[in-house]
């Protein structure tokens, strides 16, 4: 699994995840991504368009990102979630914690609204 | 002795291991060569087990014949394995593999070997249907790996010891199959009868390893003792809510778990159920042939403090069967032979046959689809049969 972080304007960051979020995939990025996000201010938009599978550790990583953002008064949203992954998120009510938006602009509007 | 009694025999054996084995003997069982810790290199062939810990075989000075029957030092079953198939021996600081004229050949990293071949660390050996991995390690690393294997074996034994026995008589009968993966996947389940009520659950902790198993054991102990303060165990939403409060992931090393919980009122046959991020249970009415899912939308346990779980209800027909299962039954590797998911799991569990055979039938199917490779996750399936 791979990730990229980039600023979106002044008050938010975009995290793009790519690959299967299974145990091996998450293990390869979780610690480093966490460290980098701790140094990041503002809301976070997670782009999951290239994530075809989300296992329990991938979900745990998203929740950890959400909690980390919450502790500094920020929020996170997701975009591009593939249908089979969204079905898993719905079963877990994860969208109550991390809202899903159709695109980045909608996600930012949601977070700043 | 039926299959379930055999399962208990195995658990008792593991229980004896728990009480009598020292870490040293467990390390010895794991194939650790004897000798001082001096930085020297040790060599292993690792054979993944169908379930449980891999078998680690030390390659020392004595050459090892691999074949289908004794006196081969490493006996591998299967008609594609010759009686004396190949030989593994030491050549200085290296390990050499030689085919002994086997009918079906000996393969290293996918290539059939025609002459003695030195093995590189991590080489995959294929002998008939079996795959072995060659590892060379410093003795200190091997000791650490053996110690971890010992911890995992102990954790596996403890989880096994806490699982309830199958129920073979009465108005509610239960059969199950639990096949832990090598690393332990954090599955657990349980059930109990309380007067007119029968309650059952299955859970799956995020992640793998001893930590996940310890977490599942903690939850099992709470459920066994019905130690949820002020909680009516007949109220699935209340049970999940109480567990969610008790096991917040921030206080449990970032771990959460999914769970399906049901409470059946036997006189009315009314089932109340709720789920926290878990697969739906499957309800099967053999008399009518109807199959349905019992889903529940709810946060994974420990992920969202204060989440309000909701229970649903259904009246079960006479002779109904309820199937609960974990991720290991549904989520197989990407390269399985055919599409696999909830629909196929339900189809297998609800196929014609004796009610108690469903879990084992599904396990055999999953293993076949996975080309008999060891599974990546615990496999747990529970079938509840009503009169």
> B32 or A42: whose pLDDT is higher?
A42
pLDDT in tens, B49-85: 665 567 888 899 899 999 999 999 999 998 999 999 9
| φ/ψ of residue B5, rounded to 5 | -65, -35
Distance between CA atoms of residues B377 and B185, nearest Å: 5
Contacts of B240 in chain A (CB under 8 A): none
Query: Nearest Cβ partner of A97 from B275, B278, B304?
Result: B304
The domain total for chain A is 1
Is B26's pLDDT higher than 50? no
Whether residue A93 and residue B299 make contact (CB cut-off 8 A), yes or no, is: yes
Whether B13 shows a pLDDT value over 50: the answer reads: no
Asked whether the beta carbons of residue B277 and residue A64 sit closer than 8 angstroms, the reply is no
Q: How far is CA B182 from CA A60, B17, B59, B138, B373, in A?
A: 22, 18, 22, 22, 12
Residue B32 token pair: 């650790």
Residues B213/B159, Cβ–Cβ less than 8 Å? yes
Token pair in block for residue B79:
């008609």
Percent of chain A whose pLDDT exceeds 70? 100
B123-157 pLDDT tens trace: 889 999 888 989 888 888 877 777 777 777 788 88
Chosen from B254, B326, B336 to mutate, greatest number of chain A CBs within 10 A: B254
Residues of chain A positioned with their CB less than 8 A from the CB of B279:
91
CATH number of the domain that A26 lies in?
Answer: 3.30.750.24
E strand map for B32-93: 41-47, 55-58, 64-67, 74-75, 86-91
Interatomic CA distance for residues A62 and A41, integer angstroms: 17
User: pTM value?
Assistant: 0.77
Mark out chain B residues that contact chain A at CB-CB < 8 A.
204-208, 249-250, 254-256, 258, 275-279, 295, 297-300, 303-304, 307, 327, 331, 334, 376
Give the pLDDT band (50/70/90) at residue B24: very low
Q: What burial class does residue A89 get, using C-beta atoms within 10 Å of its C-beta: 0-12 exposed, 13-18 middle, 19+ buried?
A: buried
**CA-to-CA distance for B203 and B327, rounded, in angstroms?**
10
A93 touching chain B per CB within 8 A: yes
* Residue A10 lies in domain: 2-112
Find the CB nearest B250 among A67, A91, A96.
Answer: A67
At residue A94, does pLDDT exceed 70? yes
Per-residue model confidence as pLDDT tens digits over B271-329 = 999 999 999 999 999 999 999 999 999 999 999 999 999 999 999 999 999 999 998 88
Q: Is the pLDDT of residue B30 over 70?
A: no
Strand-by-strand arrangement of the A76-79 sheet: A2-8, A12-18, A43-50, A76-79, A100-101
**Mean confidence (pLDDT) of chain B:** 85
Mean pLDDT of A35-53: 92
Q: If pLDDT is split at 50, 70 and 90, which confidence band does B201 have?
A: very high
What distance in Å separates the CA atoms of residue B387 and residue B379, rounded to the nearest whole number? 27
Q: How confident is the model at residue B101 (pLDDT cuts 50, 70, 90)?
A: very high
Q: Which two tokens mark B214? A: 């310890």
- What is residue B377's predicted lDDT score, i.e. its pLDDT? 84
Q: Could you give the percent of chain A with pLDDT greater than 90?
A: 73
Distance from CA of B304 to the nearest CA of A (A): 8
CA-CA distances (angstroms) from residue B179 to B66, B158, B377? 27, 14, 9
What gap in Å lies between CA A48 and CA B367, rounded to an integer?
31
Q: Kindly report the nearest CA distance between residue A13 and chain B, in angstroms.
A: 23
Nearest CA-CA distance, residue B144 and chain A, Å: 21
Locate B287 and state its tokens.
């008399």
Name the residue in chain A with its Cα closest to that of B331: A55
Residue B362 belongs to what H/E stretch? helix B358-369
Helix, strand, or coil here: B225?
coil
DSSP β-ladder status, A43-50 and A12-18: parallel
Q: Is B251 exposed, middle or buried (0-12, 13-18, 19+ CB in 10 A)?
A: exposed
Residue A2 φ/ψ, nearest 5 degrees: -130, 160
pLDDT of residue B16: 33
State the average pLDDT over residues B247-261: 94
A contact test, residue of B181, B207, B308 with most A CBs within 10 A: B207
Q: In chain A, which residue's Cα lies nearest the Cα of B301?
A: A92
Nearest to B73 by CA among A76, B82, B378, B62: B62
The whole-angstrom distance between A104's CA and the closest CA on chain B is 25
Nearest Cα to Cα of residue B348 among B338, B337, B359: B359
pLDDT above 90 for B262:
yes
Cα separation, A57 vs B249, whole angstroms: 12
Mean pLDDT of A40-57: 93
């Amino acid at each position: 699994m791979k990730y990229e972080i980039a600023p979106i304007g002044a008050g938010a960051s975009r995290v793009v995840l790519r690959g299967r979020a299974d145990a091996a995939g998450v293990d390869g990025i979780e610690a480093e991504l966490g460290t980098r996000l701790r140094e990041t201010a503002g809301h976070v938009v997670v782009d999951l368009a290239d994530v075809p599978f989300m296992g329990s550790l991938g979900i745990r990583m998203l929740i950890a990102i959400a909690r980390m953002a919450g502790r500094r008064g920020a929020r996170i949203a997701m975009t591009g979630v593939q249908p089979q992954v969204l079905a898993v998120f719905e079963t877990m009510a994860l969208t109550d914690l991390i809202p899903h938006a159709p695109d980045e602009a909608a996600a930012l509007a949601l977070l700043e609204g | 002795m039926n299959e379930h009694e055999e399962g208990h025999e195995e658990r008792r054996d593991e229980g004896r291991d728990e009480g009598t084995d020292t870490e040293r003997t467990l390390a010895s069982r794991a194939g650790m060569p004897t000798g001082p810790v001096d930085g020297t290199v040790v060599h292993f062939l690792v054979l993944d087990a169908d379930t449980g810990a891999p078998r680690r075989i030390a390659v020392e000075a004595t050459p090892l014949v691999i074949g289908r029957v004794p006196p081969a030092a490493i006996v591998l079953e299967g008609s594609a394995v010759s009686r004396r198939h190949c030989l593994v021996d030491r050549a200085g600081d290296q390990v050499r593999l030689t085919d002994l004229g086997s009918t079906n050949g000996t393969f290293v990293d996918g290539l059939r070997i025609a002459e003695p071949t030195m093995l590189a660390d991590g080489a995959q050996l294929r002998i008939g249907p079996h795959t072995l991995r060659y590892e060379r390690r410093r003795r200190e690393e091997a000791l650490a790996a053996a110690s971890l294997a010992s911890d995992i074996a102990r954790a596996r034994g403890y989880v096994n010891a806490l699982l309830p026995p199958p129920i073979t008589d009465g108005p509610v009968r239960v059969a199950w199959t639990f096949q832990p993966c090598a690393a332990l996947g954090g599955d657990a389940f349980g059930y109990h009868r309380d007067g007119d009520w029968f309650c059952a659950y299955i859970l799956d902790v995020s992640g793998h390893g001893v930590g996940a198993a310890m977490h599942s054991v903690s939850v099992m102990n709470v459920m066994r003792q019905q130690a949820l303060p002020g909680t009516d165990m007949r109220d699935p939403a209340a049970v999940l809510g109480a567990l969610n409060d008790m096991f917040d992931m921030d206080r449990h090393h970032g771990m959460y778990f999914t769970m399906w919980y049901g409470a059946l009122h036997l006189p009315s046959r009314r089932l109340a159920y709720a789920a926290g991020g878990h697969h739906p249970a499957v309800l099967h009415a053999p008399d009518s042939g109807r199959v349905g899912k019992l889903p529940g939308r709810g946060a994974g346990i420990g992920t969202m403090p204060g989440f309000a779980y909701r229970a649903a209800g259904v009246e079960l027909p006479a002779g109904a069967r309820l199937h609960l299962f974990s991720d290991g039954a549904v989520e197989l590797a990407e390269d399985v032979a055919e599409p696999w998911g909830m629909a196929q799991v339900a189809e297998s569990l609800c196929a014609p046959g004796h009610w108690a055979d469903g879990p084992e039938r599904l396990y055999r199917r999953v293993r076949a689809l996975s080309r008999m490779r060891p599974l990546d996750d615990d496999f747990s399936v529970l079938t509840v049969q009503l009169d």
